[in-house]
Amino acid sequence: MSTNYIIREATDADYPQILAIYRYCWDEYFKDTPDNYEKVLGYLKEAFDKREGYFNFWVCDNGEGEIYGWQSCLQVFNSPLRKGYNGEISTYIRHDKQNGLVAERIRRKVIDEVLKNSSLMMLWAHIDPSNTVSQKLAVHWGFTKAVEIPNSPYYQRNGLWIKLLK
CA distance 58 to 106: 8
Q: Are strands 57-61 and 6-9 parallel, antiparallel or unpaired?
A: antiparallel
Dihedral in degrees, nearest 10, Cα atoms 76, 109, 56, 154: -50
Measure the N-to-C terminal CA separation of the chain; round to a whole number of Å: 40
How far, in whole angstroms, is CA 57 from its chain's centroid?
Answer: 8
pLDDT of residue 1: 47
CA distance 51 to 84: 13
Q: What is the pTM of this model?
A: 0.91
The three-class DSSP label of residue 156 is coil
Confidence of residue 8 (pLDDT cuts 50, 70, 90): very high
Half-sphere exposure of 94 (CA within 13 A, CB side): 15
Ordered domains of the chain (ranges, CATH):
6-127 (3.40.630.30)
pLDDT of residue 27: 77
Q: Lowest mean pLDDT: which of 10-19, 119-128, 150-159?
A: 150-159
Confidence of residue 55 (pLDDT cuts 50, 70, 90): very high
